[in-house]
Chain A
Amino acid sequence: MNSSFGNIRAIAKRELVAYFSSPVAYVVLVIYLLWAGFFTFMVGRAPFFEFGQASLVTFFLWQPWLFLLLVPAIGMRLWSEERRLGTVELLLTMPITAWQAIVAKFLASWLFLALALFLTFPLVITVNYLGDPDNGVIFCSYVGCLLMAGGYLAISCITSAITRNQVISFILSVVACLFLILAGFPPVTEFLSKATSKPWIVDGVAALSVITHFEQFQKGVLDSRDLIFFLSLIGFSLFTTGVILRGHRAG
């Protein structure tokens, strides 16, 4: 157990260092923060200052969409780069299990995304300075964001294991994550409920969506069903990544 923790730590550390030794990490961080600010303050029916409430609703509203581009950009290189360089052969002939490598890489990127989220803290300070928001709701929404980022990231793990081309990996995971958003997007659910009279179809499709589950967090509700949704999305995706990697090696 001890050595498996040590292995995970060593690989995760390497991944994190790799992020910061290339310009990609800084570019993505800065663009994310700029966009997050822009959308929060400038865009929508009621942007931050016109909303009339001390809350971060206008910030969290956009997160599923911002992550749609941010997370695949972070996750696209995880396995595709290993395979392109051939280092995957080095990594998987070390005395470690494939699971340790998969989990370690996922955790490293997740930690990086957590850092990106953490850097939005000036918003929290601003809203507390201006008024008296419900910080419980804000905290809960941040937890939701982190879990949602984890879900997208796990999907990016799959797509980066499929191909050694980072661009293809990026596009595939954007498409997959877009599906997870759209399944619960109001225009889509409205269209579905018009098209079919059976409510269970609409609910079934909407239940697959990150939006449906993320909304609960935004309301300040920590429901076990939503937690289980995101954690099982992560678990399933990482498992699939393992199967794909084994498939490459088995030939």
Chain B
Amino acid sequence: MIKVQNLSKSFGPKTAVNGVSFTVERGEVLGFLGPNGAGKSTTMRMITGFIPPSAGTVRIGEFDMIEQPIQAKRLIGYLPENAPAYTDMTVHGFLGFAAELRGLRGEEKKKAIHRVVEMCFLDGVLYQSVDTLSKGYRHRTCFAQSIIHDPQVLVLDEPTDGLDPNQKHEVRGLIRRMGEKKAIVFSTHILEEVEAACSRAIIIDRGQIVANGTPAELKQRSDVAGAVTLRVAGVNASALGQKLSQLPMARKTTMLKDEASCVTARVFPQPNCRNGELARGIYEAGAREGWKIEELHTEEGRLDEVFRSITMPDTAREERK
């Protein structure tokens, strides 16, 4: 549904987006990750036709955004960053205005407003002026506007920004449910959101795509992915470390915590080690040695660590080495 090819945008000498390409099909929810100023919003503005790209193309369905903007825009629902809304209107008036610009009239318009008001829980504030709304309600009002015509493509720029944890949970659920039938792109810098709602994620940094895959695939790129963490009671830390290092699948062992009552260690696998093999090896070694194992688990890898290692500025990366 969304096909982005070699999209670039420069503002004067500054390049905000540089050669971004990806596609999103119906039934997919694409998470757009990146640090602040990475070019997420600029990319979304180009996808929705708000700003023209310096180079590259955007296709929505079968329409090119530059050549047939009206047809392309009809297919999109868009929630811009910071959820702007006309502050002098009521929620009902604002949604009615959005419905009219989407070509809905009369009975159709009424039904559409009713549907989104229910979906976004706006019943209580329907006739309240937008400028008296709390941030969460204003956000949901703008979100309601974006789905009023039941679009095939949904572009959401930080849809959970400024919401409380319950509202975040609701919005994520909404995105996941709608993602079954629509093509959705949403940007965020909250990593748990990606795991909660996305079928695929793209990490963008300084205008370029630096990673593209399912959340599980991305997590695999983490340093700790596949490592085994264990906590053992009543052993000597150095003795434990030595035994663990002797395991054939272990590449490296680090001590995380060394307390009087118990020791926590992390064992990193050899590159060719299969999933679960290391944990099993440690368990068997523990049984032989009579360790009192209190905890043993294989790390899945952490998205925030992947994110940091990919998008960290070069200087910080050097320092870390």
CA distance A94 to B73 in the complex (A): 6
CB of A14, distance to nearest CB on chain B (Å): 5
Closest B-chain residue to A7, C-beta based? B101
* Per-position binary interface string of chain B over residues 43-77, scored 1 when its CB falls under 8 Å from any chain A CB and 0 otherwise: 00100111110000000000000000111011010
CA distance A21 to B86 in the complex (A): 12
Contacts of A89 in B (CB 8 A): 45, 50, 80, 84
CA distance A198 to B18 in the complex (A): 58
Contacts of A22 in B (CB 8 A): 88
Contacts of A251 in B (CB 8 A): 9-12, 51
Check if B97 is an interface residue, CB within 8 A of chain A.
yes
CA distance A131 to B278 in the complex (A): 107
Check if B85 is an interface residue, CB within 8 A of chain A.
yes
Check if A90 is an interface residue, CB within 8 A of chain B.
yes
CA distance A20 to B312 in the complex (A): 51
Check if A175 is an interface residue, CB within 8 A of chain B.
no
Closest A-chain residue to B145, C-beta based? A90
A249/B51 in contact, CB under 8 A: yes
Check if A95 is an interface residue, CB within 8 A of chain B.
yes
Check if A17 is an interface residue, CB within 8 A of chain B.
yes
Specify which of B69, B74, B85 is in contact with A87 (CB 8 Å cutoff): B85
Check if A233 is an interface residue, CB within 8 A of chain B.
no
Contacts of A96 in B (CB 8 A): 70, 101
CA distance A96 to B70 in the complex (A): 6
Knowing A17-B89, A22-B88, say if A95 contacts B73 (CB, 8 Å).
yes
Q: Give the interface centre of A18, A86, A90, A92 by most chain B CB atoms within 10 Å.
A: A90
Check if B245 is an interface residue, CB within 8 A of chain A.
no
Contacts of B9 in A (CB 8 A): 251
Contacts of A94 in B (CB 8 A): 73, 98, 101-102
Check if A197 is an interface residue, CB within 8 A of chain B.
no
* Per-position binary interface string of chain B over residues 163-191, scored 1 when its CB falls under 8 Å from any chain A CB and 0 otherwise: 00000000000000000000000000000
CB of B217, distance to nearest CB on chain A (Å): 32
CA distance A85 to B89 in the complex (A): 13
CB of A82, distance to nearest CB on chain B (Å): 9
Interface size on B, residues (CB 8 A): 36
Contacts of A90 in B (CB 8 A): 78, 80, 84-85, 98, 142, 145
CB of B229, distance to nearest CB on chain A (Å): 46
* Per-position binary interface string of chain A over residues 81-102, scored 1 when its CB falls under 8 Å from any chain B CB and 0 otherwise: 0000111011011111100000
Closest A-chain residue to B80, C-beta based? A89
In A4-41, the 8 Å CB interface with B consists of 6-7, 10-11, 14, 17-18, 21-22
Check if B19 is an interface residue, CB within 8 A of chain A.
no
Knowing A85-B86, A251-B9, say if A95 contacts B70 (CB, 8 Å).
yes
Contacts of A250 in B (CB 8 A): 51-52
Closest A-chain residue to B155, C-beta based? A93
Closest B-chain residue to A97, C-beta based? B70
Check if B103 is an interface residue, CB within 8 A of chain A.
yes
A85/B87 in contact, CB under 8 A: yes
Specify which of A3, A14, A93 is in contact with B78 (CB 8 Å cutoff): A93
B84/A87 in contact, CB under 8 A: yes
CB of A158, distance to nearest CB on chain B (Å): 21
CB of A76, distance to nearest CB on chain B (Å): 15
CA distance A6 to B106 in the complex (A): 13
Closest B-chain residue to A3, C-beta based? B103
* Per-position binary interface string of chain A over residues 147-183, scored 1 when its CB falls under 8 Å from any chain B CB and 0 otherwise: 0000000000000000000000000000000000000
Check if B82 is an interface residue, CB within 8 A of chain A.
yes
CA distance A130 to B101 in the complex (A): 50
Closest B-chain residue to A246, C-beta based? B52
Contacts of B10 in A (CB 8 A): 251
Check if B100 is an interface residue, CB within 8 A of chain A.
yes
CA distance A78 to B84 in the complex (A): 16
Closest B-chain residue to A9, C-beta based? B100
Closest B-chain residue to A77, C-beta based? B88
Contacts of B103 in A (CB 8 A): 3, 6, 95
Knowing A18-B86, A18-B89, A95-B74, say if A86 contacts B80 (CB, 8 Å).
yes
* Per-position binary interface string of chain B over residues 93-126, scored 1 when its CB falls under 8 Å from any chain A CB and 0 otherwise: 1000110111101000000000000000000000
B45/A87 in contact, CB under 8 A: no
Contacts of B102 in A (CB 8 A): 94-95
Knowing A89-B80, A94-B102, A96-B70, say if A14 contacts B87 (CB, 8 Å).
no
Specify which of B73, B81, B101 is in contact with A10 (CB 8 Å cutoff): B101
A93/B89 in contact, CB under 8 A: no
CA distance A210 to B101 in the complex (A): 36
Instruction: List B residues at the A interface (Cβ < 8 Å).
Output: 9-12, 45, 48-52, 69-71, 73-74, 76, 78, 80-82, 84-89, 93, 97-98, 100-103, 105, 142, 145
| Contacts A85-B86, A251-B51 supplied; 7 other A-B pairs, CB < 8 Å | A6-B105, A18-B86, A86-B81, A89-B80, A90-B80, A93-B76, A97-B70
A sample of 12 inter-chain contacts (CB < 8 A) reads A10-B100, A10-B101, A17-B89, A85-B86, A89-B84, A90-B145, A92-B50, A93-B73, A95-B70, A95-B73, A97-B70, A251-B12
Which 10 pairs, one residue from A and one from B, show the smallest C-beta to C-beta distance?
A: A86-B84, A10-B100, A251-B11, A95-B73, A94-B101, A95-B74, A89-B80, A93-B48, A87-B84, A249-B51
